[in-house]
């Protein structure tokens, strides 16, 4: 069971995983060793899955976000496994979800241009059959976060 300090540690690390443990310990009111032990326990439990670096997409020349909604007439484990393999090999696809409702899958891509998206699209349709592929180019990012709320634990 997490207490308030654990939640504060996670909240803070979600904003800045590179914060020195001494600064974090001071912020949450713990000694450095106690804070480090808590972080280690959160990692060992799997609640902190990993620490990563967030790259500025504009500086990495992949500022365009494209959402791709996919419908398929094939609903087999074999097709799904192939789909996972195909999308896993395309680095421009940064997120993929299986959905309920009219669309079967939603993909989020980051690309530098429509031309590069078209190349990815052609790669997808050359490897799998789809009933429908609809693309939506993001005009503006209104909110983006990787942080998850801690108030449900």
pLDDT for 153 = 87
pLDDT at 69 (0 to 100): 98
Taking residues 72-101, report their average pLDDT. Answer: 95
CATH code (residue 10): 1.10.10.10
Number of folded domains that form the chain: 2
Cross-strand bridge partners of residue 65: 110
Long-range contacts of 17-25 (CB under 8 A, 24+ apart): 17/51, 17/52
Output the six-digit token pair for 66.
């494209």
Percentage of residues of the chain with pLDDT beyond 90: 94
* Domain identity same for 74 and 28: no
Q: What is the pLDDT of residue 74?
A: 85
- 128: containing domain: 64-137
- Reported pTM: 0.89
Q: What is the mean pLDDT of residues 21-29?
A: 97
**126 and 80 in one domain?**
yes
d(CA 75, CA 60): 36
Average pLDDT of span 7-33: 96
Q: Are residues 87 and 130 in the same domain?
A: yes
- Residues 20, 82, single domain; the answer is no
Whether residue 124 sits in one domain with residue 68: yes
Q: Is residue 32 part of a domain?
A: yes
Tell me, what's the pLDDT at 147?
A: 94
């Amino acid at each position: 069971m997490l207490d308030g300090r654990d939640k504060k540690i996670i909240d803070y690390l979600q904003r800045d995983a590179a914060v020195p443990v001494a600064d974090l310990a001071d912020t949450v009111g713990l000694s450095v060793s106690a804070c480090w032990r808590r972080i280690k326990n959160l990692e060992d439990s799997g609640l902190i899955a990993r620490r990563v670096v967030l790259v500025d997409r504009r500086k990495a020349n992949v500022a365009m976000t494209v959402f791709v909604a996919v419908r398929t007439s094939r609903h087999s484990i074999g097709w799904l496994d192939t789909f996972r393999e195909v999308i896993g090999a395309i680095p421009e696809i940064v997120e993929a979800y299986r959905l309920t409702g009219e669309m079967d899958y939603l993909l989020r891509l980051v690309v530098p241009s429509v031309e590069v998206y078209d190349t990815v699209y052609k790669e997808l349709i050359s490897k799998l059959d789809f009933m429908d592929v609809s693309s939506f180019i993001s005009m503006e990012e209104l909110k983006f976060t990787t942080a998850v709320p801690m108030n449900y634990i």
